[in-house]
Structure 1
Amino acid sequence: MATAMAATAAERTVLEEEFRWLLHAEVHAVLRQLQDILKEASLRFTLPGSGTEGPAKQENFILGSCSTDQVKGVLTLQGDALSQAIQDARNHVSQAIYLLANRDENYQFKTGAEVLKLMDAVMLQLTRARNRLTTPATLTLPEIAASGLTRMFAPSLPSDLLVNVYINLNKLCLTVYQLHALQPNSTKNFRPAGGSVLHSPGAMFEWGAQRLEVSHVHKVECVVPWLNDALVYFTVSLQLCQQLKDKISVFSSYWSYRPF
């Protein structure tokens, strides 16, 4: 019995030493790695022309449809026309970097729970950043009309066209809705369409004094390489956070009570 107790005590001592090393050394190594990765991700969201380096940089995107060759085009973006989704994602990345940098090399984590709390906070920001790119906003047709996207095209688009431009995963998507006005004496049952990422032909809405219906929908898209890079950085960072959480949890399984 004495030998068994001694072995258990010795094993416990080793585990406690390993756990202290994890808190004092490995945690900071992971935090440094996360900061390096997220700083690279943040650079991907630097808006063209957002600094003082001169005129806004133009980006050209060759758009095409995966289902048909009938619709193709080249979209030139200048300045921050699509800045909202990018800025939101970057803000979440910046908040994650702030949380990580708030614990410098001299900071000593005292408990595993403290590390878990930090990882949860960082993962929340990274998940929000990723979701901002992977989950396009659902908009009603009047909201799309009010967004001003159609008016930003040069030359101007015909008045019977409505355009939405958005980010989905690593793709820039452009949807063109061709409209026709419903006559006051129309026998169609007018039902305004609700919010959607992509509206279908037959969707109706009211804009100003007119009732309109979508007659045709055309969607084109293209892959944006730097968006793909950002999504990879988010995935790798989330995996690192989860791996560190798992290591903390493994140590807790050796005790009947929470050692942290």
Structure 2
Amino acid sequence: MEEEAEVLRKELKWILEDQVHKVLQEVQHTLQECSRRFPIRCGLDENKSLVVPHRILLSSPNGGSTIKCVVTLLGDSICDADINFKHKQAKDHHNFKTTINPEVSWKLQQIQDAGNYLVKAMFSLNQIDKDHVFHSAKEVFLLLDELISSLNQGRSCLAYPKRKSIEDIIYSRNMQILVPPVPNDTALSFYIHSSKLIMSLYSINMSSQGRTEITSRQQIECTVQWLNEAVMLFTLALQQCQQLRDKISILKQYEEVS
């Protein structure tokens, strides 16, 4: 039993001294690849950036939508858009068109936030000198837990959009940039859900109690390839960190107490 424990102690020592840096290099490579898809400055050669304008047609997943929308997505901004939808006035429906102009972009906060958490994770890695020797499982856990937290939050920004109230949508800065402004009984929002860019169009009404109520909601969407890749790379980096943590966690009980 003691011989087995000694073998496991040596394995843990080998992992701490040799394997941790190798895994951290793999994580760093994954994060650098992910960062190429975000409009962030993190020491990356600008020639390696994959941030370019993408012209995107949004459509209903079920077909038959009365909304037509074409946008240009550049990093964390919708820098151009043509939006057409049916608007009811009295008993009639009229076509209404509004636009987003390149001079004033619609900012996608989710992408900004995900990029910020990515930068935070990369900063944590860059603090570790390549010649640093890890002497304990606890020391590695502190770093990995910090990385895992940043990566989880970054991925969640894209995968799990925060629910906003209709008031938040109506009075948001983004709604003010539409030209011409949408009718008072209409609101719209763009948001990210994992690899999809989604636009929701709301018909709204003021209740007798003075509350804003949603009377109907339509949705159109499109899969964005680089967002899909970004989510996958966040996930890969998380797996790399978690696998190393799990491996060390199993051996930690055999760690020599100094």
Q: If the length of structure 1 is used for normalisation, what is the TM-score?
A: 0.75
Partner Cα distance (2:122, 2:247) in 1:
22
Taking the TM superposition and a 5 Å limit, the aligned residue runs for 1:179-194 are 179-180=204-205, 190=209, 192=211
Give the 5 Å matches for 1:34-183: 34-46=27-39, 58-71=53-66, 72-76=68-72, 77-78=78-79, 80-180=105-205
Give distance in 2, aligned partners of 1:98 and 1:155. Answer: 42
Q: Which of 5, 8, 15 matches 2:2?
A: 8
Report how far residue 151 of structure 1 moved. Answer: 3.3
**How many residues are aligned here?**
221
| Paired residues of 1:252 and 1:259 also in contact (CA < 8 A) | no
Please tell me whether residue 239 in structure 1 is matched to residue 231 in structure 2.
Answer: no
Secondary structure, in 3 states, of the residue corresponding to 1:236? Answer: helix
Distance in 2 (alpha carbons) for counterparts of 1:221 and 1:82: 17
In proportion to residue count, which structure has more strand?
2
Contact 2:108 2:191 in 1 (8 A): no
- Give, in whole Å, the separation in 1 of the partners of 2:52 and 2:248: 46
Alignment RMSD, CA only? 2.8
Secondary structure, aligned partner of 1:165: strand
* SS of residue in 2 equivalent to 1:16: helix
Distance in 1 of aligned mates of 2:57 and 2:165: 27
Aligned-pair CA distance for 1:39 = 1.2
Q: Please list the CA deviations of residues 206-229 of structure 1 after superposition, one character each: whole Å capped at 9, or x if unmatched.
A: xxxxxxx43332111111111111
Distance 2:118 2:153 in 1: 9
Q: 134-143 or 156-165, which moves further after superposition?
A: 156-165
State the Cα deviation string for residues 219-258 of structure 1 (Å, max 9, x = none).
Answer: 11111111111110111111111110111122134x3x77
CA contact 2:17–2:134 (8 Å) conserved in 1: yes
Q: Which residue of 2 aligns with 1:209?
A: none
